[in-house]
Amino acid sequence: MAGHQAKLADVLTLPGRDDVARTLVSDAVRQAREAGKSSIRAWLPEHHPAMPALREHAFFPVRAPGILTYNDETPDGALAFLDEPRASVHFMLGDTDAI
């Protein structure tokens, strides 16, 4: 947590465990406050199941352009589902080199 901003790298729970997501986000907010941080950055897809927990803790969406690149080492067509606008994927800030 260097600098003025904390980063929430991931919110991973079992499906339907909104209570766990709320607890994880609450703990992250508490830890950031205790560390003297003035803000927290979380990077989640628009339809991520933890979004309600973030909104309950006053997180707000910020649209930021970005380019996602990856090395596709899967069989042909294995990632075709990613072409669907509401594809259910789990890709978080903690999956990048930014943390």
Strand partners, 39: 5
DSSP 83: G
In angstroms, how far is the first alpha carbon of the chain from the final one? Answer: 10
Q: What letter would DSSP give residue 32?
A: H
Cα–Cα distance measured from residue 20 to residue 12, given in angstroms and rounded to the nearest whole number: 9
- What pLDDT is stored for residue 65 in this prediction? 67
Q: Does the global pTM surpass 0.85?
A: no
User: Alpha helices of 35-94 — where are they, by DSSP H?
Assistant: 51-56
23-52 tens-digit pLDDT: 999 999 999 999 999 999 888 877 788 999
